[in-house]
Amino acid sequence: MRDVNMAICFLLAVMISGCASGPSFNKSSEASKSAIRAAEEVGATKLPSASLYLQLAKEELERAKGLAAEGEKEQAASLLTRAEADAELAITLSHEQAEKTEAENAIERVRQLRKDNQLPMQRSNQ
């Protein structure tokens, strides 16, 4: 009886660990896909540096799918983590460029306001 209980416990443990790896991969896959979509939406394809990381993320996602199909779930999960990180880097680079452009525009507006608001240099000292 004790052997039967041990066997049942062993089978349950195997089933639980097998089920745990599936949803984890799917969850990581969805997170990577979402990060890639977000990078595309913020315009990462328009900036060379961001575009590079976005392309890497897409390639890593595809390789991860292949590895998962071959049963290499651990390596696939690792690639999905890299894909998500690369997509997030593409997002950050896109935001950085947008903020830099916004700052440059603000500086130019300030310069123009200073120029427009300068008082005439001629003042009478009488």
pLDDT average, residue stretch 5-24: 48
Output the six-digit token pair for 118: 């300068």
Any idea of the CA torsion for 30, 31, 32, 35, to the nearest 10 degrees? Answer: 120
CA distance 58 to 61: 5
- What is the identity of the amino acid at 87? A
Q: Please, are residues 53 and 88 in contact by the beta-carbon 8 Å criterion? A: no
Q: What is the pLDDT of residue 14?
A: 43
44-74 pLDDT tens trace: 999 999 999 999 999 999 999 999 999 999 9
Taking the whole predicted model, whether its pTM rises above 0.85 is answered as no
Torsion sign over Cα 31, 37, 38, 39: positive
67-105 pLDDT tens trace: 999 999 999 999 999 999 999 999 999 998 888 888 999
From the CB of residue 39, how many other CB atoms can be counted at a distance below 10 Å?
26
Q: Which DSSP string do the residues of 17-70 spell out, in sequence order?
A: HHHHHHHHHHHHHHHHHHHHHHHHHTTGGGSHHHHHHHHHHHHHHHHHHHHHHT
